[in-house]
Amino acid sequence: MNTIYLDHAATTPLDKAVLSAMRPYLSEEFGNADSRYSLGRNASLAVLSARDKITRLICGNHGNLYFTSSGSEANSWALKGVCAANFGKKMRIILSAIEHPSLIRAAEDMAAFGFETELINPDSSGIVRPEFVEKALNRGGAAFVGVMYANNETGVIQPVNPIYELCKTAGAFYFCDCVQAAGSLPLDCTFADGISLSAHKFYGPKGVGALWLKRGVKISRLISGGQQEGGLRGGTSNVAGIVGMAEALSLACADMGKTEERVRTLRDRFADEVTSKIVGARLVGDKVSRLPSNANILFPGCRGEEIMMALDMSGVCVSTGSACSSGASKPSPVLLAMGLSEEDAAACVRFTFGRENTKEQADFAAKAVINAVKMLRGD
């Protein structure tokens, strides 16, 4: 039985060209980037080149890029580091209620130091309206504002530019989690004071991410140690991972328009078939302002986990939400924040397509979903 992978929001397969770019730094070019002899200098130059390449691709020359182990680490560091640098001055954190757990939980950690967090719900389409953010900003004292570019569960794209303008007017730091958007949407770091990236979301290696900060932003050190990452994150550089991240983002950006149009066509083909053949099934979230890969579908009368397991038996890989929250038994906080009932939130399944998927796979998956739902509902 061949596997049909429809969970690209969780992770993506490593591109063969990316592996080829990484391979020398896993074998013959194994030097520590902080060593001064030739092997070390070669590794250091590879890291410098990758940093420059990613910075150019995200139009971030007016800031600094720091490598991390993941998008979650970048998110957590951004929130805790910026808040720590503002301790005693500004003591409020404003986050959308649909943020990744790495930001929500980092904010919860900061409560021990006196920081207060306000969560902003989106509208029923999953969009965090700028006027909602403005209302929160008007209360003053915001050290950190976080509204992601595209949600990891629904794929809904947020109005980041007007939100950033509001934050600039209020004198508040605006952070934009771009983990899901990178490789699918053009990134231009003029819409935030800080962004996060994760390589394995755009066909790069797991275990490497990045935090970009606008020049002049104050942030506390994450890891005490050596002078890596500007002295803010000590530890030996993951040279192969960093090289792979740069190569993966470069490839994704080069083919973005063509690839995403093809993925959107597959997603729509699948979603149209499923929602037309299953009574009550509907797409969750805004139908237009969303990532081309994402179809989060509600199946009344079923539990998403049961559909997911039935599809797994058919060789189709999907999820019921964020992989970072997959062990949770409660319905998705993102879907609840959008106004769904607990019953409806528990009946949702996320399908996310990728560039290796085919029409045949989309059709097979649609048929498998229709059969699974009919079986579970007894239709």
Catalytic positions: 324
Nearest residue to 175 via CA among 149, 151, 152, 145: 145
The rounded distance, in Å, linking the Cα atoms of 147 and 313 is: 37
Q: Diameter of the chain by CA atoms?
A: 70
Neighbours of 302 (CB within 10 A): 23
Return the closest-CA partner of residue 96 out of 160, 11, 189, 192.
Answer: 160
What is the rounded CA–CA span in Å between residue 242 and residue 29? Answer: 14
CB atoms within 10 A of CB 139: 12
Query: Residue 259 corresponds to which amino acid?
Result: T
- Full DSSP string of 325-354: GTT--SPPHHHHHTT--HHHHTTEEEEE--
Using only C-alpha atoms, the chain has a radius of gyration, in whole angstroms, of 21
Residue with tokens 């409560």: 111
Distance of alpha carbon 116 from alpha carbon 139, whole angstroms: 12
- Identify the DSSP state of 157: B
For residue 220, which of 353, 120, 334, 77 has the smallest C-alpha distance? 77
Alpha carbon separation from 187 to 57, 216, 261, 323 (Å, rounded): 8, 20, 17, 24
Task: Tell me if 286 sits within 8 A of 126, measured CB to CB.
Answer: yes
CA separation for the pair 185, 189 (Å, rounded): 12
Give the position of tokens 């991390």: 68
